[in-house]
Amino acid sequence: MPVTSPVLLTLVAMLAFAGNSLLCRAALLNTAIDPGSFTALRMLSGAAALWWIVHLRQPPSGASSAGN
């Protein structure tokens, strides 16, 4: 079975989501932040990270595309 099989990738994704849930619960146990603010902060930081990844993958504006 190849390393990138759909079953293995699904298992890794499920473990990541479960770990994320446990970490979030632990973070909210003894803290002054409420769950709504914590979720908003996570959403904003995730959006910023995705924007940064997309920004890094775009070629510079002056670069010519290959084959044109």
Q: CA gyration radius for the chain?
A: 19
Q: Is the pLDDT of residue 65 over 70?
A: no
Q: Is the pLDDT of residue 42 over 80?
A: yes
Task: Give residue limits of the domains in the chain.
Answer: 1-35
pLDDT of residue 44: 95
Is the Cβ–Cβ distance between 27 and 38 less than 8 Å?
yes
pLDDT of residue 14: 95
Taking Cα atoms as reference points, which of 65, 14, 20 lies closest to residue 42?
20
